[in-house]
Structure 1
Amino acid sequence: MARGQLVFISGGVRSGKSAYAESIVRNFSNARKIYLASGQVNDEEMKERIERHRLDRLEDNWLTIEQAYELENVTKILQPRDLVLWDCVTTWLANELYEGWETGKMCSEIEGCMEAKWTKLQETLIKMLGTVDLLTIVSNEVLDDFVRDEHYQAWLGRIHIWLVQQADQAIEMENGLAFKRK
């Protein structure tokens, strides 16, 4: 069964990973470019950053989809030959892992909750790869993130291992330099 190419890019905060990922997608022509943004507008600064990034991609005719939760809903609009950039796994993970914090019962504390979300994510990514030509996924390094929580770091590590195993290319970014690991 044919599948699209998977490129996984990881790096520290401000390592240049997102710009590098965009450059990979921009190298393809005559295909629809889709940017999946996991960020949420929580304050005025984030709202301005999201809008600035969206405007930067307009000149290349990117379709930007703000999808902090339920990434599987995006599969409904994907078409063959699409080029998809998902930025980023770490934001998705934080959203999912700490879902329910307002009520005092987070997903990370509910038995089987994250396992179900992880299974759904794997199925979603495999479905995407069955449709698109390219899926580029960006993530922060496991220990180089703002979240210092053992559940978060363990899940991020687990996700990274799977993504590297599935990837056609695994790239680590450091200070704007790309190091291919696979």
Structure 2
Amino acid sequence: MSLTLLTGGARSGKSALAVRRAQRSGDPVVLVATGQARDEEMADRISRHQAERPASWTTVEAPLDLVDACAALDPGACVVVDCLSLWVSNLMEHGDDEETTLDRARALAAWATAYRGSVIVVTNEVGLGIVPMHPVSRGYRDRLGRVNAVLAREAGLAQLVVAGRTLTLDPQED
């Protein structure tokens, strides 16, 4: 029914905004999480995110098979995907090349635009800073930027979140 993309820097308020919007939807909410608690710091981040959302929400963990996990969801929910940044990192670590990652992103966008319910996708904007020194970091920045562009192209609403405030991005021109 509708795809919203929320992008911005780390700790900019993207996830909190997605939670508030999902709560206001009035629909059952499914949070599709891509993060993995591989260390204490990440486990703490995940715990903080869990504390921000109602216990009544359904959580689906999909660190790699995001598209399959989303495709298995019943229609009519408000789906929050949090976040593409970790998903792309997981796919790179898994060994996916860029084209495979972009194919997965296109499949996610196709699912989201066809889904009978609302979909809110959270992602980081990592291309605004300095050019990373390491080739892997540059590859990640470039790949995530391309994945974000795939989703933004299909989104009915794309917003940049800065300090908890939003800036609506113009639709892509043909």
Paired residues for 1:81-120 under 5 Å: 81-99=76-94, 106-107=95-96, 113-120=97-104
CA distance in structure 1 between the aligned counterparts of 2:103 and 2:64, rounded to whole angstroms: 14
2:124 aligned residue:
140
Mark the CA change 1:51 to 1:178 in structure 2 (over 3 Å): closer, same or farther.
Answer: same
1:180 aligned residue:
168
Unaligned runs of 5+ in 2: none
1:20 aligned residue:
17
How far residue 144 of structure 1 moved from its aligned partner, in angstroms, is: 5.5
2:8 aligned residue:
11
CA distance in structure 2 between the aligned counterparts of 1:144 and 1:67, rounded to whole angstroms: 27
- Which amino acid is the alignment partner of residue 6 of structure 2? I
CA distance in structure 2 between the aligned counterparts of 1:91 and 1:165, rounded to whole angstroms: 20
Q: Secondary structure at the match of 1:98?
A: helix
How far residue 174 of structure 1 moved from its aligned partner, in angstroms, is: 0.7
1:152 aligned residue:
140
**Do the aligned partners of 1:96 and 1:114 also contact (CA within 8 Å) in 2?**
no
- 1:81-108 deviation per Cα after TM superposition (whole angstroms, max 9, x unaligned): 1111111111001111122xxxxxx44x
Unaligned runs of 5+ in 1: 100-105, 108-112
Residue 64 (structure 1) aligned to one of 59, 71, 87: 59
Q: TM-score, normalised by structure 1?
A: 0.81
Mark the CA change 1:89 to 1:119 in structure 2 (over 3 Å): closer, same or farther.
Answer: same
Mark the CA change 1:138 to 1:76 in structure 2 (over 3 Å): closer, same or farther.
Answer: closer
The share of aligned pairs that are identical, in percent, is 28
How far residue 11 of structure 1 moved from its aligned partner, in angstroms, is: 0.7
RMSD: 2.2
Q: Secondary structure at the match of 1:126?
A: helix
**Do the aligned partners of 1:71 and 1:121 also contact (CA within 8 Å) in 2?**
no
Kindly indicate whether residue 33 of structure 2 is the aligned counterpart of residue 37 of structure 1. Answer: yes
CA distance in structure 1 between the aligned counterparts of 2:105 and 2:151, rounded to whole angstroms: 11
Aligned residue-pair number: 166
